[in-house]
Amino acid sequence: MIQKIIPTNVITGFLGVGKTSFIKTLLSQKPAGEVWAVLVNEFGEIGIDAGLLGSETDQIQIKEVAGGCMCCAAGLPMQVAINQLIAKAKPDRLLIEPTGLGHPHEVLKVLTQAHYQQVLSMKSCITLVDARKLSDSRYTQHEIFNQQLQVADLVLASKADTYDEKLIGELQQYLKDNTIEKGQTMTVEPWRYTQNEALLPAILASINLPHKLSTATNVRAVQAVTIQPKARLLDINYSPLFSADTSAQQLEFDEHGLVCKTKQVDGFYSCGWVFDVSYEFDFDKLLEFVKGLDVIRLKAVMITDEGIAGFNGVESELSIVELDDAMDSRIEILSMADINREQLESALIATSKRLGLSGHL
């Protein structure tokens, strides 16, 4: 049997830059009749990004890899997931989204191994960057942030409608000074979700260009900088709840129909809940609850009285999308301060009712 070679794009980017939203936009432009597959990498145990991407169809297949950077352990988790996804979907294109703190050099090293050369055709690696972060040394001094720029064939200045255009020029200069050899150029395109119809043609044309491998001979290494523990950033995709393939999970709900997990890592605190399908949340009350939180990261897929709502919050920015379906409701918060689980859980439950049960909880 002749195996078709699959055009493959790696979509990378650091904290809260909008990788999932960008992939969702790309999927909306999929040519009719083609099957596209998406491999999403997260850190935790129960998936959520697949829910934010939308429902699977015969022509869009989504798979998640749990447990941190999928290139670890000699890339075995990624290779297994790719093989399963190809066997199931037989895709015409593969999009791979490594976790925000994954090692893009190692991811690409796995994808370009000899046994994949007759299976995957590596096309443009796209890196999304919020240009405002260039003023934050926690980003510019972070090895992974700079690796993501090193491997890029196309850099998108994400959320460009929220900051001055001069920052895009500063991003171009940063690339010139830090991540590419003298005399080389790197394409930087503004990316505004509010104007994606106008900006997409150039981006869609670029995704079929071949990937220029980043090696020690063609990329100037960025000097490693030690970051003080208090300045460390945690990947926004980290979660003890939202990462694994939900179809493979057997959640053990308590007598109230809840699953809750908490974790503390390097001075960051996370708390996540899964509510069984009997819970219906009052959208207005839930929105008020979410807006009242003082956290650095929030994501959720919730069953509400106004439909299925996906929440995606990074610091003071919050976006809400309507989703088609959900098997349960999930929410996770990430904070730099200790989280009062009981208080937040009570406040969450107060925004809901359980269908088929009498009264509010």
Residue 89 has pLDDT above 80, yes or no: yes
- The C-alpha atoms of residue 304 and residue 98 are separated, in whole angstroms, by 30
pLDDT of residue 357: 61
Whether 317 and 133 have beta carbons less than 8 Å apart is answered as no
- The C-alpha atoms of residue 17 and residue 33 are separated, in whole angstroms, by 30
Residue 127 has pLDDT above 90, yes or no: yes
Predicted TM-score (pTM) of this structure = 0.68
- The C-alpha atoms of residue 257 and residue 280 are separated, in whole angstroms, by 12
Residue 182 has pLDDT above 80, yes or no: no
- The C-alpha atoms of residue 220 and residue 180 are separated, in whole angstroms, by 6
Mean pLDDT, the chain, integer = 78
Q: Please give the full DSSP string across 185-224, using - where no structure is assigned.
A: --EEEEE-GGGHHHHHHHHHHHTTSBP----TTTSPPPPP
Q: What is the mean predicted confidence (pLDDT) over 206-213?
A: 85
Band (194; pLDDT cuts 50, 70, 90): confident
Band (74; pLDDT cuts 50, 70, 90): very low
Q: What is the mean predicted confidence (pLDDT) over 153-178?
A: 90
Angle at 344 between CA 339 and CA 345, to 5 degrees: 120
pLDDT of residue 230: 38
Q: Quick one: which of 43, 30, 21, 49 has its CA closest to 101?
A: 43
pLDDT per position as a tens digit, 304-358: 999 999 888 877 788 888 887 788 999 988 787 899 999 999 999 999 999 876 5
Q: What is the mean predicted confidence (pLDDT) over 169-198?
A: 78
Residue 81 has pLDDT above 90, yes or no: no
CATH number at 250-354? 3.30.1220.10
* Domains 6-229 and 250-354 are alike in CATH topology: no
pLDDT of residue 292: 93
Instruction: List the domain boundaries for the chain.
Output: 6-229, 250-354
**What CATH homologous superfamily does 6-229 map to?**
P-loop containing nucleotide triphosphate hydrolases (3.40.50.300)
The stretches of 32-165 forming alpha helices (DSSP H) are 49-53, 76-89, 104-111, 137-140, 143-150
